[in-house]
Each structure stands twice: as structure tokens, then as C-alpha cells.
């Protein structure tokens, strides 16, 4: 077996070690690669920019610790954008882990931007995902009747920013940030009936499913995982984890391409030897 043929039998542990190095190096020593903002990400940004100040945004959190590297920066970038523009938002989590993680991030950002709970943001309380359809049928007509208290047991009527928020007409944008594929349910029950502007923050793995909705105008914009979050951070001119990780994302992809080419060289080389 010659050198080229050995390329298709590289020990997987060597490949994993190379991958760790390819990711760790740009995280330790920063690599400034250009981040190009795609129209889908600009769509998310513009939708929040256009949201009237007398309405609130609804940030749906349906992700957990398993995908926090992708959905966490997406959620964080959206909340940061709203705080920067003095716009209010409500968190609606459908995952218990996501509820905790998003709340912690909202608290940290609120402290940074001098925002108050109940005045600038509110947590509507965790809901099991099995409740999604009944909730989507109920809350657009009566938010306070559906969510009687916030996550901490305070009646909705006593929360200042909820005083004039009663129906879906008082919600300016719905952002579905998810590691699952329930966007169609939101479109069916909310966008299909009320035409409330929606934006989407999926993990990269389910992002292709969102292109149909994006093309049809059912969602106004989409962040495609960590890359989308990095683009959003660039638009906000506020560097975060996603921007730092963008370099590592590029080097890891480069390594994978090199390994695929190496494997193919090995395969072609061994096939030629067999043919001879």
C-alpha cells in the first residue's frame, strides 16, 4: 500500500484530533475572516427594525442544552437587538432547558442595557410542546386569558408592559427559535390566520426546511444556525460568541474538505492499482 492509498485509511481518532486543533486554534488566536450578510438574515433585522414601538415581539424558545451553541447566539442576538432599539419582548419557551438558558441570557443582557423585567421584557412561562396547538388557537384572541400569570406567578394585569397587550394585534413580530420542525404549525395557525410577521431561527440542520416559507413570504427572514447569528451580530455591530466562532466554523469546514479530497485520492489510487 503506497502513501496515497493510505489516505483512505486514516484512523478516525487522528481525524478527531485534527478537528479539535482546527477548531481550537481560531478560538484562541482570532482569525478575522469576512462575514457576508445574506438577504435572509437582513430580513430578520429589518423586520425587528420596522416593528412599531407600541407593539411587543414574541420570542419563542424551543431549544435546549443540546443545540445551545447555535440557537443560543440566535436568541441572544435578537434580544440584544430589541434592547438596543428600546423595544419590548416576551419569552415563550416550549423547552424547560431553553427556558432557563434564555432567561439567564435575557437577565444578563437586561443588566448590560439597563432594562427592567416587566417593563422591557417578560417571561410568559414555560409551556409543554404538547400544548402548542391549543395555545395557538387560544392566545391570539386573549393573551391574558391564556397566560394568566408570568413565569414567576405575577398576574399578567400587574405587569406594566402587558397592560396594553391583549390580542395578537398587539404583537409586532413572532420569532420562532427552534431545534425542531414546528414552524409549519405556527404558520398554519398564526401567519395563515392573522398575518403577523414571523422570523425564523432554526439550527442549521433544519434550516433548509425554512426556505419554502421564506420564498413564499410566510417568514420575513431566517438565521441559519451559528453562521446566521454571526451575520446578525455584524448587522448589530455587536460582536458575540457567534462572530468568534465563525473563524472556527471556516477552518473546520476546510479540514473536512481536505479530508474528503484525501480520501478520494486514496480511493482512486487503489482502484488504479487494482485495474493494473
Q: In this complex, which beta carbon is closest to other proteins, that of residue 113 or of residue 241?
A: 241
- E strands, 94-136, are 121-123
Q: Quick one: which of 8, 38, 138, 149 contacts other proteins (CB under 8 A)?
A: 149
11 versus 275: smaller Cβ distance to other proteins: 11
Structural contact between residues 140 and 25, judged by C-beta atoms closer than 8 angstroms: no
208 touches other proteins (CB under 8 A): yes
Cell of 43: 430580513
Question: What count of Cα atoms within 13 Å lies in the side-chain half-sphere of residue 59?
Answer: 30
Q: Distance between terminal CA atoms of the chain?
A: 14
Looking at the Cβ atoms of 160 and 192, the one nearer to other proteins is 192
The answer to whether residue 16 forms part of the interface with other proteins (CB under 8 A) is: yes
Alpha-carbon span 105 to 276, nearest angstrom: 63
CA distances from 153 to 93, 148, 149, 192 (A): 16, 9, 5, 32
What is the size of the binding site for other proteins (CB under 8 A)? 62
Query: Shortest gap between Cβ of 156 and other proteins (angstroms)?
Result: 12
Smallest distance from the beta carbon of 188 to other proteins, in angstroms? 4
Strands (E), the chain: 56-62, 88-93, 121-123, 171-178, 198-202, 221-222
Residues constituting the chain: 276
Among 67, 75, 76, 178, binds other proteins (CB under 8 A): 67
* 3-class secondary structure, 167: coil
Among 1, 31, 205, 258, which residue interacts with other proteins (rule: CB under 8 A)? 205
Per-residue string for binding with other proteins, 221-260, x by CB under 8 A?
---xxxx-------------x--xx--xx--xx--x----
Q: How far apart are CA 204 and CA 71, in angstroms?
A: 9
Piece in contact with other proteins (CB under 8 A), picked from 1-9, 36-44, 113-121, 143-151: 143-151
Picking from 254, 250, 273, the residue whose alpha carbon sits closest to that of residue 262 is 254
Smallest separation, CB 84 to other proteins (Å): 22
Q: Which of residues 70, 105, 231, 233 is near other proteins by CB under 8 A?
A: 70
**Residues within the interface to other proteins (CB under 8 A):** 12-13, 16, 19-20, 23-24, 27-28, 30, 64-70, 72, 96-97, 99-100, 125-128, 133, 148-149, 151, 153, 184-185, 187-189, 191-193, 203-205, 207-208, 212-213, 215-218, 224-227, 241, 244-245, 248-249, 252-253, 256
Amino acid at each position: 500500500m503506497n502513501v496515497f492509498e493510505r489516505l483512505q485509511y486514516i484512523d478516525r481518532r487522528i481525524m478527531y484530533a485534527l478537528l479539535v486543533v482546527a477548531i481550537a486554534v481560531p478560538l484562541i488566536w482570532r482569525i478575522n475572516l469576512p462575514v457576508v450578510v445574506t438577504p435572509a438574515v437582513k430580513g430578520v433585522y429589518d423586520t425587528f427594525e420596522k416593528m412599531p414601538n407600541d407593539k411587543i415581539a414574541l420570542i419563542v424558545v424551543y431549544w435546549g442544552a443540546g443545540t445551545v451553541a447555535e440557537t443560543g447566539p440566535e436568541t441572544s442576538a435578537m434580544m440584544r437587538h430589541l434592547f438596543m432599539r428600546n423595544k419590548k419582548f416576551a419569552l415563550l419557551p416550549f423547552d424547560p432547558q431553553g427556558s432557563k438558558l434564555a432567561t439567564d441570557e435575557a437577565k444578563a443582557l437586561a443588566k448590560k442595557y439597563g432594562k427592567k423585567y416587566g417593563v422591557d421584557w417578560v417571561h410568559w412561562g414555560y409551556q409543554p410542546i404538547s400544548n402548542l396547538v391549543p395555545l395557538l388557537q387560544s392566545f391570539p384572541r386573549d393573551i391574558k386569558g391564556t397566560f394568566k400569570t408570568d413565569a414567576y406567578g405575577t398576574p399578567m394585569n400587574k405587569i406594566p408592559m402587558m397592560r396594553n397587550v391583549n390580542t395578537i394585534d398587539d404583537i409586532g413580530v413572532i420569532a420562532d427559535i427552534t431545534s425542531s420542525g414546528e414552524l409549519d404549525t405556527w404558520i398554519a395557525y398564526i401567519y395563515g390566520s392573522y398575518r403577523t410577521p414571523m422570523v425564523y431561527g432554526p439550527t442549521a440542520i433544519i434550516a433548509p426546511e425554512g426556505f419554502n416559507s421564506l420564498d413564499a413570504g410566510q417568514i420575513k427572514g431566517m438565521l441559519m444556525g451559528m453562521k446566521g447569528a454571526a451575520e446578525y451580530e455584524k448587522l448589530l455591530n455587536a460582536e458575540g460568541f457567534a462572530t468568534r466562532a465563525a473563524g472556527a466554523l471556516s477552518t473546520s469546514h476546510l479540514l473536512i474538505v481536505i479530508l474528503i479530497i484525501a480520501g478520494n485520492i486514496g480511493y482512486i489510487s487503489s482502484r488504479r492499482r487494482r485495474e493494473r
